[in-house]
Amino acid sequence: MSNFEDSTKRNRIYLTVPYSLLEKVDFHLEKKLEDGESRETANRSAFVLEMFKLGLRVYENKINKDASEKTLDQKLELIAKNVIINGFITEAIFAIQKETVDTEKVIKNEQFLDPEWIRAVEERVAGKLKEYFK
């Protein structure tokens, strides 16, 4: 046996495909043929090989993905959780103030927060957003 024949035989894989998947493959092949592709490029073997390559890329990306990287769902869950918590805290603060603040002692238009503290909070928030939305 020649070296070429030996290398081509080692690359062969026989795959048994369930009829349910074969029906889907045939459906997509019919669409390709309707779009004008020839039988040389629109056949079961070519289509299954194309899907195998695509699936392999998806699988490799899944493996290579950084374990610490968060998914979009996790990022959105964190944002929603923080919005809800902040809403509850804000409601609680205003409810407490409404019950306890003596309106005669309130100083109007007074800034109680240090401007540096506000900038520090904004920087921390911007850092967190940058971390989650690279």
Q: Among candidates 57, 54, 35, 58, which has minimal Cα distance to 46?
A: 54
CA distance 49 to 12: 12
Q: Indicate the range of 2-11, 53-62, 104-113, 120-129 predicted with least confidence.
A: 104-113
Instruction: State mean pLDDT over 2-17.
Output: 72
Sorted by sequence, the CB contacts under 8 Å of residue 78 that are 6+ apart come out as 70, 132
Q: Determine if the pTM surpasses 0.85.
A: no
CB 30 within 8 A of CB 43: no
Distance of alpha carbon 39 from its chain centroid, rounded?
A: 37
